[in-house]
Amino acid sequence: MHEIAIAEGIIAEAKKHGDVKRISLEIGQLAHVPGAELVECLRRLVGWEIDWKEKPALASCGCGYEGVPTILERGHDFFLIECPKCTQVPDLVEGDEIKILDVTVD
């Protein structure tokens, strides 16, 4: 039920703009909750139109690699990644955020 808390936060933030009709989200590939699950939860809670896109993960490794990491395991609130070049654990640069890109109100 972790996605409910995140969804409620998104709803509260969007409602600050008025009577919401549509929101647009960018959900990182390695966000705390998988994008499809979060959007499904939002749709159960509100009658808004919801557009979303997934932002790919981007990692940086000490070996010099910068790009999409290999995702070894993915769950709610955790992930395990490795560098596809050297198999070490890289630093995640982006792809774990959830952003509201646009809110359409009446």
- The domain 2-105: what is its CATH number? 3.30.2320.80
Taking a C-beta distance cutoff of 8 angstroms, is the pair 10, 37 a contact? no
Residue 1: predicted pLDDT: 60
Domain boundaries, the chain: 2-105
Mean pLDDT of 61-78: 92
Query: What is the tens place of the pLDDT at every residue in 3-45?
Result: 899 999 999 999 999 999 999 999 999 999 999 999 999 999 9
Do the bridges between strand 70-75 and strand 66-67 make them parallel or antiparallel, or are there none, so unpaired? unpaired
The confidence score (pLDDT) of residue 78 equals: 85
